Each structure stands twice: as structure tokens, then as C-alpha cells.
Amino acid sequence: MKSFFTRRILILAFALYFCILFLSCQSSQDTSINTQKDSSKPQNSKLTVEEASRYIQPLFDNLDIEKNILYKEVKNSKGELEKLYLDVYQPAGDKAENRAAIVWVHGGGFTSGDKSVGMEKNLAVEFAKMGYVTLSINYRLRQNPSADWVGTFTDSTDDAAAAVDWLVQNSPKYRVDKNHIALAGYSAGACIVTNLTYKGGENAKWNKKSIFAVVELAGNRIWMGTPHKNDPPCAIIHGTKDETVPFAEGEMLAQTLKGQGVDYIFHPVKDANHNLQPSFYEVQDVAAKFLYKALTGKDI
């Protein structure tokens, strides 16, 4: 009975939020917030980078690409068995071992989108040229996610967690350092990576310890659980004129992380709406510098 009422409360909370989201006006505030490291917090070991420009500038012109790798079979919201696939991008000719990786999660309002198109796929390509091993994944979609926001978030975050688990299990094959995997997403994908990473604190049962950083593009506040002070740092990148997911949502996420002692940066993309593709190179630059610092402890 208790779980029934808890589920009802969560459903009402999600419904209220999305009503506010679609009716609210965007915030005009244009600020940048950057918290400092707390020396009392245990820090993940930093990754040693041999090439001076690796992970910050393109080092490779060509990529080795593997498409449509099955990483999970699971029932969807219709009760049908669904196969979920991912694509892997690797720098061609790279001899490095223990490479950092990024799992990219596409947007589309939980109803559409695909791993093989869009800004997220393009970012996966560009970061692979910098020396990362990158994944672009599909996850379970729904025709009407608002009918069950709890189920929508639960399914999609479970799928992203399974993709990370797949990468950890296959880390020897792809020469990935399983302790240095980043999660990154745009719009709905951003909601997935933040709610997955920060919902369970230190008690998460998936390979959360593998996550060294999160990149959140035009997502919203955290609805599942509460961040923990030792959670991975987050880069919040949000258009100041976003009317789909108002800029205030990025501000609220920043304040939540700040209140819990989680390291983050908040980068407003001036005059950008929800579509960040026209600001692609700005987004790429901010994310690359953030991830490089998270990897090495060094500013660029």
C-alpha cells in the first residue's frame, strides 16, 4: 500500500512539473556558476594523458565505427520485447591503452530520436577524433510518455545504465579505462544522464563508480532522488532563450548540485533556443575543456 501511494505521489509530481514546464516563461538571467573543489572530498584518480593535445584537440582524421551492436533486450511499455542497439566510434590507428570514453544519449522528448543522427551523434564523432572511445545509444521510447512519467524515466535510465555496464564489460576489447567513462546527453537525453547519475547517491547498483563526469545539454532539474556530495561533476550547458526547456531549469539544476556539494559548471549559451546545433562548436569547446579538467585536474 505504501509503494502504491508513493508511486501516485511521484506521478502527480511529474504531471505538475510538465504542466509548469510547458506554461512557464523562460528566465532572462544570464549567469555562469563555477564551484570550487572541496579538498575534504575523496577524488577519483586522474587519468594520465600522454599526448599534450589528446582529449582537447582533434588528433585523428579517421574513425573505426561499429554500428548496431545489441546491448540489451527488454520489454517496452507495450509489453513487447525490444532490442536496443548502440554505435561505437574509435579513433583509427590509435595505439593508446586505457582510453577515456563517453556515452552519448540522444534527445527527442522520449518519443523520438535515434543514435545515428543529430547533434549528439556529431559530438560522438568529434570527441572520438580527440581520442575518446564514444558510444551513441538508443533507449526505450514511448508514444505518450506523459501517461506514465515514472515508467518513462525508469525505463530510459535503466537502459543508459545497461549501456554503461556493457561498456565496462567490454572495456578490454575497446581498450577503455573503465574508471573514466563520462555520460552525456541532450534534452531528454540530458534528463536521462542526470537523473541516472544523481538519483542513487553512493548506493547505486550499476557501474556508477565508472562515471567520472556528466555533460548535460538543455535538460531539466533532477526528479529522481538526491545528489550526493561525492557524485561526479556536471557541465550544464543551456540556451538563454530556450522556450522548450526554460533556462530556469538549468539554473535549478545548478542550485541543486551546489546545495548538495556536487562540483559543476553552468554555461549559458547566449541567445540560443532549445536547438543547440547552431552553437555546436561552442558546446563542443565547453564540454571538451570541462571533461579534460575532470580527467586530468588541469585547466585549459
Phi, then psi, of 117 in degrees rounded to 5: -140, 170
Asked whether the predicted pLDDT for residue 8 surpasses 60, the reply is no
Residue 235 vs residue 17, higher pLDDT: 235
Task: Using only the alpha carbons of the chain, give its radius of gyration.
Answer: 18
- The confidence score (pLDDT) of residue 153 equals 93
Which amino acid does the sequence have at 282?
A: E
Q: What is the mean predicted confidence (pLDDT) over 132-137?
A: 98
Asked whether the predicted pLDDT for residue 78 surpasses 90, the reply is yes
Instruction: Please answer whether residues 163 and 85 qualify as being in contact, where contact means their C-beta atoms are separated by less than 8 angstroms.
Output: no
Asked whether the predicted pLDDT for residue 6 surpasses 70, the reply is no
Asked whether the predicted pLDDT for residue 9 surpasses 80, the reply is no
Cell of 45: 584518480
pLDDT in tens, 227-260: 998 999 999 999 999 999 999 999 999 999 999 9
End-to-end alpha carbon distance in the chain: 53
- The confidence score (pLDDT) of residue 214 equals 98
Cell of 219: 535538460
Instruction: Please answer whether residues 156 and 184 qualify as being in contact, where contact means their C-beta atoms are separated by less than 8 angstroms.
Output: no
pLDDT in tens, 79-112: 999 999 999 999 999 999 999 999 999 999 999 9
Beta bridge partners of 104: 136, 184
- The confidence score (pLDDT) of residue 265 equals 97
pLDDT tier, 225 (very low <50, low <70, confident <90, very high otherwise): confident
Cell of 143: 508514444
How far apart CA 109 and CA 106 sit, in angstroms, is 10
- The confidence score (pLDDT) of residue 205 equals 74
Walk me through the domains of the chain, giving residue ranges and CATH numbers: 2-296 (3.40.50.1820)
pTM, entire model: 0.85
Residue 12 vs residue 33, higher pLDDT: 12
Asked whether the predicted pLDDT for residue 33 surpasses 80, the reply is no
Name residue, grid cell 532539474: 221
- The confidence score (pLDDT) of residue 253 equals 96
**DSSP string of the chain?**
-HHHHHHHHHHHHHHHHHHHHHHPPPP-----EEPPP-TTS--PPPPP-SSTTTTTS---S-EEEEEEEEEEEEE-TTS-EEEEEEEEEEETT---SSEEEEEEE--STTTS--TTSHHHHHHHHHHHHTT-EEEEE-----S-GGG-HHHHHHHHHHHHHHHHHHHHHTHHHHTEEEEEEEEEEETHHHHHHHHHHHSSGGG-SSSGGGEEEEEEES-----SS---TTSPPEEEEEETT-TTTTHHHHHHHHHHHHHTT--EEEEEETT--S--GGGHHHHHHHHHHHHHHHHHS---
- The confidence score (pLDDT) of residue 223 equals 85
Residue 105: left (phi > 0), alpha (psi -120 to 50), or beta? Answer: beta
pLDDT in tens, 160-209: 999 999 999 999 999 999 999 999 999 999 999 999 999 865 556 789 99
- The confidence score (pLDDT) of residue 201 equals 55
pLDDT in tens, 262-296: 999 999 999 999 999 999 999 999 999 999 999 99
